């Protein structure tokens, strides 16, 4: 089942917080141009796994493969250079920056000038390129009209679009979306589904999501976490019928 | 009439020097969330470097940029070697938020002692490069001399350059993003640690400029126990707090306001009340608007 050219693969991931075992021997594989869903009840360890993948939490043990190459779990600051981008559950826009500036922040790796020479204002062409690039991705999420608004004046669905544009602008190979549909109305959810599907032409996507209809619509593969363990994985259809999953979600001893 | 104008000019000149100091406090606060009391020591050390240059090359105009560069390098070095380690080790527990501040007080003492060791505790003199005698209109002398004109122009220039960096460059974008949310910035690919060091360096340069200008504006005397520098620190800090501690524009407005208020108290009320006024102003702002005077609207802009 494990292919060597998966975009991202982790195995044997263990994380404890004090005496609490948050993740226990967890594995996950994201194929190229695949949309993978990570689901499970509250407190199952989804966000912990997400955080481990992007360096916010350091695993006690586990292996990390990127494009089939084993390497250390990445540091947060190296993430973008490795081709991984993520959005946050709380969206995490910079409230006092404009929408365009927010997206430009995500494009820093394309800045050719060093910090200092950029500071001296030598590289205005570089600036212009970053701006254009940011604008392009704002258009991709239908938010170019918001470019000059301050981020803290946006509606919630709009902040979600901008957050995705900021992740996309770094042109990642793997995009991690933390509850992209959370708090959205049904129209916005439909738009989000469409967007995610269109993304797969360029990248792999990993989603943590509570909205089952979103997960079932866009994901080709699901992993189900419960109490820090992977209790099921496979196609959406297969997982949906898995007795262990039903038990975990309904909280009964059906299995 | 002339007295009013002169009071205003004195206030603006003093305020513009305070604003450099306030800016350097704000830059450090924004990049590492530390109130840097060592800033007075850094400014003083930079000014001593400036003094060495004047001593050797006999030019204030070379000494000023050199002092700023020296201030930037020393501040960056302190952040790299000292603050990084300190913030890492004191990230937990009740002491976490005060340990770095106390450490900057320790640094202040250390820097002053080092200055005393190398340059002695006697006054050294930095001659003012331009005339300190005010322009005259008719029989009246204005409180605006060539030197004071240069000070105001230099500060305006530096504030404009900083504003340009913050609002129009990538570095500025990184500085603003990192100040707002370091963890998210890191996720977005910003080298937050490097950005912090740059923030300290900019603060060091601003502090160096403040020290050089302040010394040339006063009687030119410079010593490790200089009252001028203690006041520079106190007033710069008060100005930064008035401005909300988070905003460059706020720092400038706070500093000009403080400079003007103190000048008017000095002229119309009496010199003995100047310090009382400064600290009462600080307390009143903290009691009524703890976030600073303009924190609500423009506070986080710059």
Nearest by CB: A121 against B169, B188, B189: B169
User: In Å, how far is A234's CA from the nearest CA of chain B?
Assistant: 29
Rounded CA gap, A102 and A79, in Å?
A: 18
Please report, rounded to a whole number, the percentage of residues in chain B having pLDDT higher than 70.
95
Q: Helix or strand or coil: residue A102?
A: helix
- For A98, phi and psi rounded to 5 degrees? -75, 165
Contact present, B294 and B243 (Cβ < 8 Å): yes
Contacts of B165 in chain A (CB under 8 A): 119, 121
DSSP for B239-280 reads HHHHTTSS-HHHHHHHHHHHHHHHHHHHHHT-GGGHHHHHHH
User: In Å, how far is B15's CA from the nearest CA of chain A?
Assistant: 26
Rounded CA gap, A33 and A205, in Å?
A: 7
Contact A118 B300 (CB under 8 A): no
Q: Which fold has domain B2-288?
A: ABC transporter involved in vitamin B12 uptake, BtuC (1.10.3470)
Mean pLDDT taken over chain B: 89
| Cα atoms found within 13 Å of the Cα of residue B238, Cβ hemisphere only | 26
- In tens, the pLDDT along A133-150 reads 899 999 988 888 898 999
Q: Which residues have a Cβ under 8 Å from the Cβ of B98 and sit 6 or more positions away?
A: none
The pLDDT of residue B74: 96
Residue B302, pLDDT > 50, answer: no
Question: Out of A30-39, A245-254, B44-53, which region has the weakest mean confidence (pLDDT)?
Answer: A245-254
* Interface confidence (ipTM) of the complex: 0.76
The confidence band for A116, taking pLDDT boundaries of 50, 70 and 90, is low
Domain extent listing, chain B: 2-288
Judging by DSSP bridges, how do beta strands A35-39 and A204-208 pair with one another? parallel
Asked if the C-beta of A115 comes within 8 angstroms of chain B's C-beta atoms, the answer is yes
Contacts of B183 in chain A (CB under 8 A): 56, 76
Contact A116 B171 (CB under 8 A): yes
- Read off the pLDDT of each residue in A141-167 and give the average, rounded to a whole number: 89
Residue B224: DSSP 8-state: T
pTM value? 0.83
Contact A109 B189 (CB under 8 A): yes
Q: Which residue of B has its CA nearest to A115?
A: B171
Type and span of the H or E element at B222: strand B221-222
Q: Decide: residue A141, CB within 10 A, 0-12 exposed, 13-18 middle, 19+ buried.
A: buried
Rounded CA gap, B296 and B302, in Å?
A: 13
Tell me the domains of chain A and their CATH numbers: 1-83+172-255 (3.40.50.300), 93-170 (no CATH)
The packing angle between helices B60-77 and B192-217, to 10°, is 140
- In tens, the pLDDT along B119-144 reads 998 899 998 899 888 898 888 888 89
DSSP for A15-74 reads EEETTEEEEEEEEEEE-TT-EEEEE-STTSSHHHHHHHHTTSS--SEEEEEETTEEEPPP
The pLDDT of residue A250: 66
Residue A243, pLDDT > 90, answer: no
Residue A187, pLDDT > 90, answer: no
Q: Which residue of A has its CA nearest to B193?
A: A77
Contact A96 B168 (CB under 8 A): no
- In tens, the pLDDT along A11-33 reads 999 999 888 888 999 999 999 99
- For A88, phi and psi rounded to 5 degrees? -110, 150
């Amino acid at each position: 089942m494990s292919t060597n050219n998966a975009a991202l693969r982790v195995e044997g991931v263990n994380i404890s917080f004090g005496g609490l075992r948050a993740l226990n021997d967890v594995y996950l594989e994201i194929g190229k141009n695949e949309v993978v869903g990570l689901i499970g009840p509250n407190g199952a360890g989804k966000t912990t796994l997400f955080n481990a993948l992007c360096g916010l939490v350091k695993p006690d043990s586990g292996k990390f493969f990127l494009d089939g190459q084993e390497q250390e779990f990445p540091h947060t600051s190296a993430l973008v250079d490795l081709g991984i981008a993520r959005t946050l559950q709380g969206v995490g826009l910079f409230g006092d920056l404009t929408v365009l500036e927010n997206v430009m922040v995500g494009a820093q790796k394309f800045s050719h000038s060093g910090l200092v020479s950029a500071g001296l204002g030598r590289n205005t062409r570089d600036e212009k390129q970053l701006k254009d690039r940011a604008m392009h991705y704002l258009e991709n999420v239908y938010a170019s009209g918001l470019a000059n608004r301050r981020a803290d004046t946006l509606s919630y669905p709009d902040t979600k679009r901008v957050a995705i544009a900021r992740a996309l602008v770094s042109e990642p190979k793997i995009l991690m979306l933390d509850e992209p549909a959370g708090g959205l109305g049904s129209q916005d959810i439909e738009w989000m589904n469409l967007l995610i599907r269109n993304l797969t032409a360029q990248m792999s996507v990993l989603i943590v999501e509570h909205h089952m209809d979103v997960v079932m619509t866009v994901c080709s593969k699901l992993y189900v976490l419960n109490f820090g363990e992977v209790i099921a994985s496979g196609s959406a259809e297969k997982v949906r019928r898995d007795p262990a999953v039903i038990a975990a979600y309904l909280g009964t001893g059906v299995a | 009439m002339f007295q009013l104008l002169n009071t205003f000019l004195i206030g603006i000149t003093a305020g513009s020097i305070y604003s450099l100091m306030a800016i350097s406090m704000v830059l450090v606060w924004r990049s590492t969330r530390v109130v840097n009391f060592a800033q007075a020591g850094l400014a003083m050390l930079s000014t001593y470097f400036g003094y060495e240059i004047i001593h050797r090359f006999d030019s204030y105009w070379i000494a000023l940029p050199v002092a700023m560069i020296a201030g930037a390098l020393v501040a960056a070095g302190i952040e790299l070697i000292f603050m990084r380690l300190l913030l890492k080790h004191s990230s937990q527990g009740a002491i976490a938020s005060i340990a770095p501040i106390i450490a900057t007080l320790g640094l202040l003492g250390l820097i002053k002692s080092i200055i005393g060791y190398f340059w002695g505790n006697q006054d050294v003199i930095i001659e003012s490069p331009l005339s300190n005698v005010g322009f005259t209109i008719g029989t009246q002398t204005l409180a605006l001399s060539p030197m004071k004109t240069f000070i105001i122009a230099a500060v305006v220039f530096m504030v404009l350059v900083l504003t340009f960096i913050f609002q129009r460059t990538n570095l500025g974008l990184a500085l603003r993003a990192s100040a707002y949310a370091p963890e998210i910035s890191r996720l977005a690919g910003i080298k937050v640690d490097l950005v912090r060091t740059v923030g300290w360096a900019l603060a060091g340069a601003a502090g160096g400029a403040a020290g050089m200008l302040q010394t040339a504006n006063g009687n030119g005397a410079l010593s490790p126990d200089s009252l001028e520098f203690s006041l520079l620190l106190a007033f710069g800090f008060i100005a930064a707090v008035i401005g909300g501690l988070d905003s460059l524009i706020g720092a400038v407005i706070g500093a000009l306001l403080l400079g003007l208020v103190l000048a008017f108290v000095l002229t119309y009320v009496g010199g003995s009340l100047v310090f009382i006024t400064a600290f009462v102003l600080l307390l009143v702002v903290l009691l009524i608007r703890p976030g600073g005077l303009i924190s609500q609207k423009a506070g986080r802009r710059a």
